[in-house]
Each structure stands twice: as C-alpha cells, then as structure tokens.
Structure 1
Amino acid sequence: MRVAVADVGTNSSHLLIAEAVTAGDVGGYRVLDALKDRTRLGECLDAQGWLTPEGEDRLSSALTRFRALAAAAGVPEVHVSATSALREAPNGAAVASRMLARTGVYPAIISGEREGELTYLGAAHAVELADDNVLLDLGGGSLEFVRGDQARARDVLSLPLGAIRMTRAFVPAESPGRKEVTALQEAVRAALRPHAARFAARPGTRFVLSSGTAEAAALALLARRGEEAASVNGAHCTVTELEGLLGDLRGLRAAARARVPGFERRADTAVAGLATLHAALTLLGATDFTVSEGALREGMLTEELTRLRAYQSSISARQRSVLGAAERFGANLSHARQVAALARELLGQLGAAGVDIGPAAEARSLLTAAGALHEVGQIVAQSAHHKHSAYLIRHAELRGFTPREIEWIALLARYHRKSAPKASHPEFAALSAAEQTRLTQLVAVLRVADGLDRAHAGGVQIERLERRGGGWHLTLRGATPLDLEGARDKADVWARAFGPLTLHALA
C-alpha cells in the first residue's frame, strides 16, 4: 500500500512517497522517496495578495514533477494540501482549479485549523509526546498553535505570523537592528496575548516546534554544543539557547548568516523566524522545547494510510475480491474508498428519510463495489473510461457475487459519468421497469458521491440530508469548491430519481 502526499507552502513545496509497514508498527510507514521544490510562492503575490502568473508557473512545475515521481513509484495520485499562500490569495481557489487542468493534480486549500491538526498528527508520529503538549508550527505565512494529548489535537489556533510575512513587515534582509526585532516581537505578543491562556505552560507541558526554521535552529544549536547528528528529530533545546542564537544572527549580515549551520538557505528569514518563535515561547511560559521533523505532510501520510487500513480491514471477503481487482487495475484506492463511503452514507440517509431502494444490504454492497471499481477503465484509456470500467468488471472474476450482481456493478460504473441510463442502451433496456427505477436511483447516489470527491482530497463529510419542499438539501463539511462543482454537475440523475438537490457547505 503506497501513498504520495505533498504540501504547498509560502516558501516551499514538499512531496513524500511512502508505503505502509504491515507488521510490528501500527500506523507505521517507510519513506520511499521525497522531493522539495523551493516554489517561493510568497515572492509571487501582488500588492492585493493575488498569486501572479509566475507563481502559477512555479506551482505547476512543482506539481508536474511531483506527479511524475509518484507515477514512477507506482502511485497513481498525489494528495496535495495548500496552506497560507493559496488560502489567503483572493484567486487561490481559481488557481487550484487551474492546477488540476494543467497538471492533473489538485492542491486542496486547507484551513489553518486543519493544518494544525495534521501537523500535530505528524509530530505525534515523530517524537514522544507527553500527556499535555503545545505544538508551534512556523510556516512562511502563518504560525499554528496546537494543544493536545498523546492521541490527538484538542485546540488549534492559526495566526498570520509566518517567517516570510514577518520578515517583510519588520526585518530588513541585510542587517536588522534591535529596534526592528523588538517591534516584531511586540507584534507577535499582541497577536497571541488574547489566546495565550489556551496554550500557556502548565505543570508537565511539553513544547514541540516543527518547521524548517525550528530544524535549522536545532542544527545550529547542536553544532554550538559540538554535537554531530544526522537528524535533529527529537532534539531538545532551551529557550535561552534560542535567544542567544537569535542575538548572534541578528548581528550578522545575510551572507554571514548563510554560513551558520542550518541557515544556508534561510538567511533572509532567519532573524524574523527565530524572533517570532522566541516571542511566542516566552509569552506562553516555555523554558525548553523539542524539535519534530514530522509535520504537515507526515500527518497527511499517517491519516491517509490509517484510512486505507481501516477500509481494508472493515470490508467483507467478497469486497476484498473487489479491492484486489481495483489494485490489479491500478485504481486510485483513496478516491475509491471515499466514493464508496460517501455513497453508503447518502444511501443510509435516503433510507432514514423514507426512500425505498430495495434491500438495503444489497444496495450497500453494490455501491461499495461500484465505488471501488468505477474508474478502473482508466487503465485502458481516460476517454470513455466508464465504458472500459464496465467491460473490465464483467470479466474481473469477482468472487462472491452472482452474475446478476456483477452486471449491476458494471452498469453502475458505466453510468457514473457522462450519459444517464437510457432506454436505448441494450443492457439497461433488458431490465424490468422496477429494476430500471432501482438502478437509476443507485446511479444517482454514486454520481453525487463521485462528484463530492472531485478534488480527490478525501475531505468531504456528509452532515445531513433532508427533504425540503419537492427536493433535497445536503449539508457538507470539508468540501472544496471543486467538490461542490463536481456534485452539482453530477446531480442530474439525482434530480430525475429523487428531486432537485441543493448543496450547503459548512465552514
């Protein structure tokens, strides 16, 4: 089981390709490849914060490289999370959509809170956490604060205090003075002070830092101690040491800062980054901290592998046959799992609302199989892949299904996109009137479920489905603009089977 994830930040973009460790390490993985691209999108924002064409070109180049490397490793898709640069750009959503058209990869824009949760998860798999922890994750555009226990994040805050942002606002690149650093740190304290009680030190609290700036600081501090280390993960440093490093770097010109171990490529943002972290740590009452190399992309990786493991372990024997076929045909298992889950949830809520689609257990089984296999035809060709999927399903020798059930799974895959079921189609015309009605209903569910993961980000959750007037109202959480567009485009058969569908996305 292999997964490729990437994060797009203000300063750089990172790809991580890994495979699950199947024995002895629950939730573990082995990294197969990694790639860092210094996209520096923060340099490509105009006066109004819009990402410029140059920025789009840089991002497109990085995503194209990521996709090629993942494909070479046998991973059909890269899951990408975009943070503050696209999150805050007025044209961020439009840029993300254009990236899908240009590269085949969609950078899903996540909230600062979601970023903090995933980063905490990444840190939890990288360093030993205590019963109470406060994580500080410094990016180029934002600084996330996360309080949690050994299991998960409990409280998350995102503030616009990133190293690139603070450098531009307060610190000249060449030789910042004490006055500029003092002004920066006062701005950090002013922004954090209203929230300080939520993240302040308590007896036994462990402070954890993640980010390139934190890793660079740890490397520099270890060098000062005369310690050599292949990795700074788990390195323990004091806030007093951090203050001394900040003072020394502040007194250096950029060229000299670039000669300090760890800061070879961070000389321009080193002072602002260290000053921001120092101000935040001292305000929260921290005296020391641990550095984590696990961050956002490691959290994304852990979450995705956990989802896939849960999916594989929860399905029946015959659905394992379906999963085997999906893997054999190179299907995107993450997308398959999400579509199947969304289809089952929609089916369940329709049933709860009094809609009868025949035997519920059979309908769930058919939708689960069709959700897993609806795109396997892409191994033949992208064009008309729904028809290729139907052919492959009919000849995949799925175990545990009757010939009739296999035909229905093939038809569901056939109609997941493009044309709706028509009387002129021989396979559909061969069904009885009652079967045609039922198949159309199941097709409606599958099409909407597939549309809701149009971004292939796997983040949509269905809150509730309600009857309203002559139609339906679907409330969602975690949907990207592309997911909403995809579901609306694919709600045509739903309108025919059940009535018009209206979507509402929660923040």
Structure 2
Amino acid sequence: MAKAKLFGAIVMSAQSIDLTIVNLRNLETVERVSAPVALGDRLFTEGGIDYDVVDEAVSALRGFQQLMTDDGVTDERVVASHTITDAENISYVRDQIYTKTGLTVHFMTVSEELMFRYQAAAAYLPNFRELIDEGTVLIQIGASSITLMVFQAGELTLTRELQLGPMQVAQKMAQLEHQVDTYEDVLADYLHSKLLDVWRLLPEKQFKQVILMGSKLTLLENLIPENKRALALSHADFNQRFDQVMTLSDQELEDQEQLPEMEVNEVAPTFLLLNELFDTMQIETVWVSNIKLLDGFVVHHAAETGQLKLNWDFNETMISAAKNLAKRYQVDQAHQKKVLTFAVQLFDRLRKIHGLGPRERLLLQLAAILQDTGLYLDANQHAFHSEYIIRASEVLGLDLTEQFAVAAIARYHSSRAPSAGLSHLSRLPLEARLTIAKLAAILRLADALDDSHRAKISKISVSIRKQTFTVTATANDDIELEKWTFSQKGTFFREVFGLQPILKRKGTL
C-alpha cells in the first residue's frame, strides 16, 4: 500500500502558532502542536508586533519544519489570521520569516476565515446541515474579534465581525480593571453597548440554538467528551458554568482549570460576552465545538486539491451569501437575475478566447450580483459606491486580491470605461489586472442587455467570427436602448478581446 501523503498546515494567530499534520484523504491527524507565541501582545495598544516576539515565531516555525521533515510531510502551507496582518510592521515580519525559514506566509482575510469555519463545521459537525436548515448563529470567539454567521433556511444570510475578542477587550480595559471595584459590571455594560448594532441587523426570527467555535473557549471545550468534536449545552447548563467560572480567582483558574496565565484576564470578557449574546437572543441550546480555524484551513485545502469530497457546493454557498448581501442594499433582483444569467452565458461562450477558469467564472458571478449595491448610497456614479461597499464587506470566501477584483469588475460595469491600463489597480499583478479587464468587459455587455431593467430579452445566442462577436437576442419588444448601450460598452470589449461586439434582435414586435 502506498504511503499516505501528509500535509502540514500552520496558522499564526494573536497568541499562538499552531501546526497540524494530516492525511488529507481522511482528515486523520498525525500530529498537532501549538507554540504559545504572543504575536498580538502589543498589537492592540501599540499597533505593531514586537521584534523579540518575531524571533520566538521564527524559532517555533523552525521547530515545526523539523517535525514536518521527520513525519515525511510532502506539502505545507502557512497562513496568518487577519488579526495580525493588521499590524503596522507586518510586511517586515513576513519578510523576516521568509528570509530565516524559507516559509511564505499567506495573509488571510475575514472573508476567507469565514469560509474556512463554514467548511470545518460542514466537515466535522454531523448535524450541521440540520442546524442551519432550522436556523442558527455560528459564533466564533477569537483573540481580537468575534464573528457571527447567521443561517436561515439553510442559507447564510448575514455575517458580522466585531472587535470584541477577549484579548483585545482585556488589553483595552486593563487600566480600568484596577481602578474600579465593579469591573465586571462596567465590562458587561461595555459589551452590551458594542452589541447594539448586531441586534439591529439580526432578523426578527428568534434563534433557539447557536454553534460556538474559536480559540477562546477553553473553559467550555474541556466539557466535551474525548474523541468528540462538539457538545450540546442547555442555556441552564451554560449559566451554571458561567456562575462557576466567574467566582474563581486568577490562581484558581490556573490551578483548577489549567488555564495559561496569559489567558486568565480574558475569562471575564469571554463569559460576559457569551452571556449577553445568549440572554438577548433567548438561546435554548449551545453547541460548543472544539473546531479551530486550523481545522477549517485543512478542510479547505483538502477540498480545493480534490483530495476530500464533501457533499456540499461551497461555490453555491458563496453565491447565495452574495445575494443576501445584495438584498441588504435593496438591489433590483429581477435585473440582477438577468445580468447574472447573461454574464455566465457570455463567459462560457468565450471560454476558448479568454482562457479563464472556474474560479474566475465565480468572481464574475459575484460581481454581477453585487454590481448595483452602490445605488443604495447614491444613484450618481453608483458603480464607484459599489466598489467601496464590496471592498468593505465580508464577501464569503474571497482572498484580498479576489475581493479587490470583484470590486473593480463591479465598478467598471457602468457606462464609464476603465483606462486601458486599469491604472487605479496598479498595485495588483499584471495577470490579475488582465483578468479584471476580461471579466469587466463581459459584465458590461451583460448589463447592457437589460439596460432598461424591463427584462425585454428572454434569451440570447452567440456567434463568434474572426473579428466579430454577435449576440442575437430573442425579444418581442423594442430593444433600441439595449442596442445603444451595448454599442457604447462594447468599445472596451473590443479593446480587450479584439472582437467587435454586435447585438441583433429576433422576434415579433
């Protein structure tokens, strides 16, 4: 029997660097280790990563490299959570790590981390589909932030990140802790005020259950039976654990609960935050999991490389999430549906010419869905507002370059053509800019085919000749506006593909 190919995954976060070595075909863990490196120790107060800590990180990574060599790892990846990538000196830190270890660190976005957690839950929680069909909120508690993923009828309808991670809150409130006798009451008030925005956005439907995951749940995770990934607690069970934990002294937390000293001051922010969430949402059941971001990264890589088959269409999940984001900005759904359909048809018909693949097709779909979000802010130059909204939003599953690409494609769907060199995207590699240009050129034509927003064109067919790209539209109505707009927007298409786009109509008037 052939020896299993092992994968080494390393995640760098605010308080630790973690390694897991796994067989991707069955997700069996060969080795899992953690190094307590406090990369975020002064991140929230001073904005950077201390260089003594960088040396600790390099030492830990070298140790991990030796472990991977000993275990025969054939592939490895290193990623950094979005928390530490916000450090002012992160580029220098990344370069030092590469120079001293040869490891390249990929910076994750919030959107990527959301997808990794989604995929981990799908892989490791047997009842995950049932939970999201019924409606649930997946709450991730990290060192610097918390994220909420709201599911209704099986769809991800809302994501929200809040800078309320226990480590960040503890650092911000450290001085106050020693100035007042009622620190926990003040802390509870602080958390309550910061969560008000969440209650405004949450749907009116009451959620009976939540799923917890993250790096700051040690005192709940230790209730999970060995070899299990999750445990269901009633709200009363949580309250009992809350009362027990909140009465323990710092020393008792270390001695009785084996909590690391560096995490003791994070207990109150964690439990008071959860208490506020559960009480306000009137939660009945809490599913506590020991699933980490590291697990999600492994599942993602296994699925992406085709070594793990999950009965889940994550591309469709991304599309559904984007549609729900567009709904928040009151996008015209009938127009959105038409543009999305036409964009995909044009992309598929041009496949041999543009040379792009499935991932780029997905980016085009996301841009088509979100292109008109800017109308919510202002009808004048709405495409610029769409670009801003997309860049500032959590578009599930996209890395930083992809998010910039989707935003730029949406920006250029309108009548104003981009400059020949996409000058405002000069920071992106040439290949990325070419991809944006091709997808923007396609989206501009797709949008033109429903310029009246009256769904006049029922279907299209495409014919490609040596120098022309002819779209024949079936319509039993006048489409002169669509023809005029198609001609205007077609100029950029010709620049990009070297084909003259032509729109013809067939049908009776």
Question: TM-score normalised to the size of structure 2?
Answer: 0.57
Task: Give CA deviations for 1:251-271 in whole Å, capped at 9, x if unaligned.
Answer: 332111112336355433222
Structure-2 change in CA distance of 1:20 and 1:194 (3 Å): same
Counterpart of 1:191 in structure 2 is 194
| Count of residues in correspondence between the two structures | 345
**1:166 equivalent in alignment to 2:164:** no
Q: 1:232 to 1:278 in 2, by over 3 A?
A: farther
Mean Cα displacement is larger for which, 252-261 or 134-143? 252-261
User: Secondary structure of 2:164's match?
Assistant: coil
The 8 Å contact of residues 146 and 157 in structure 1, kept in 2 or not, is answered as yes
**Cα contact 1:13–1:36 (8 A) shared by 2:** yes
Q: Secondary structure at the match of 2:255?
A: coil
Shift of 1:308: 0.9
Which 4+ residue blocks in structure 1 deviate beyond 6 angstroms? 149-152, 172-178, 485-488
Task: Confirm or deny: 8 A CA contact 2:44 2:168 kept in the other structure.
Answer: no
User: What residue in structure 2 maps to residue 137 of structure 1?
Assistant: 140
State the distance in 2 between where 1:198 and 1:167 align: 26
Q: CA deviation at 1:152?
A: 7.0
Percent identical pairs in the alignment equals 14
- Matched residue, 1:14: 18
Tell me the CA shift for residue 140 of structure 1: 1.1
Aligned to 1:79: 77
CA spacing shift, 1:9–1:486, aligned 2, 3 Å: farther
Cα deviation, 1:383-437, whole Å, max 9, x if unaligned, reads xxxxxxxxxxxxxxxxxxxxxxxxxxxxxxxxxxxxxxxxxxxxxxxxxxxxxxx
Alignment match, 2:235:
239
Q: Distance in 2 between matches of 1:187 and 1:146?
A: 22
Q: For 1:336-375, list aligned pairs within 5 A.
A: none
TM superposition shift of 1:364: 9.0
| Partner SS for 1:268 | helix
Structure 1 residues 47 and 229 mapped into 2: Cα distance closer, same or farther (>3 Å)? closer
Query: Given the alignment, which residue of 248, 251, 273 partners 2:270?
Result: 273
Q: Using the alignment, how far apart are the partners of 2:46 and 2:84 within structure 1? A: 13
**Once the 2 structures are TM-superposed, how far is the Cα of residue 191 of structure 1 from its aligned partner?**
1.8
| Counterpart Cα distance in 2 of 1:159 and 1:471 | 39
After the TM superposition, which of the residue ranges 168-177 and 97-106 deviates more from structure 2? 168-177
Shift of 1:12: 1.4
- Unaligned 5+ runs, structure 1: 22-27, 223-227, 313-347, 354-358, 366-456, 492-498, 501-507
CA 1:35 to 1:310, structure 2 compared with 1: closer, same or farther past 3 Å? closer
Alignment of 1:304-453 (within 5 A): 304-309=301-306
| Distance apart, 1:209 and its partner CA | 0.8
Separation of aligned partners in 2, 1:150 and 1:96? 41
Structure 1 residues 83 and 71 mapped into 2: Cα distance closer, same or farther (>3 Å)? same
Alpha-carbon distance in structure 1 between the residues aligned to 2:50 and 2:400: 28
Root-mean-square deviation over aligned CA pairs: 4.4
Q: Which runs of 5+ in 2 are unaligned?
A: 310-345, 358-397, 436-494, 497-509
Any idea what SS the aligned residue of 2:147 has?
A: strand
Q: What amino acid is the match of 2:229?
A: N
Q: Which residue of 1 aligns with 2:286?
A: 289
Query: Counterpart in 2 of 1:214?
Result: 217
Match for residue 180 of structure 1 among 179, 183, 186? 183
CA spacing shift, 1:102–1:259, aligned 2, 3 Å: same
The answer to whether the aligner puts 1:301 opposite 2:298 as a matched pair is yes
Taking the aligned partners of 2:424 and 2:215, their CA distance within structure 1 comes to 38
What TM-score comes out, normalization by structure 1 length?
A: 0.57
- Counterparts of 2:399 and 2:71, CA distance in 1: 21
In 2 relative to 1, CA 72–183 (structure 1 residues): closer, same or farther, beyond 3 Å?
same
Shift of 1:243: 3.5
Say which of 90, 93, 117 aligns to 1:92.
90
Residue 101 of structure 2: which of 95, 100, 103 is its match? 103
SS in structure 1 of the partner of residue 21 of structure 2: strand
Structure 1 residues 47 and 173, CA gap change in structure 2 (3 angstroms)? closer
Checking the alignment, whether the CA contact within 8 Å between 2:24 and 2:308 is kept in structure 1 is no
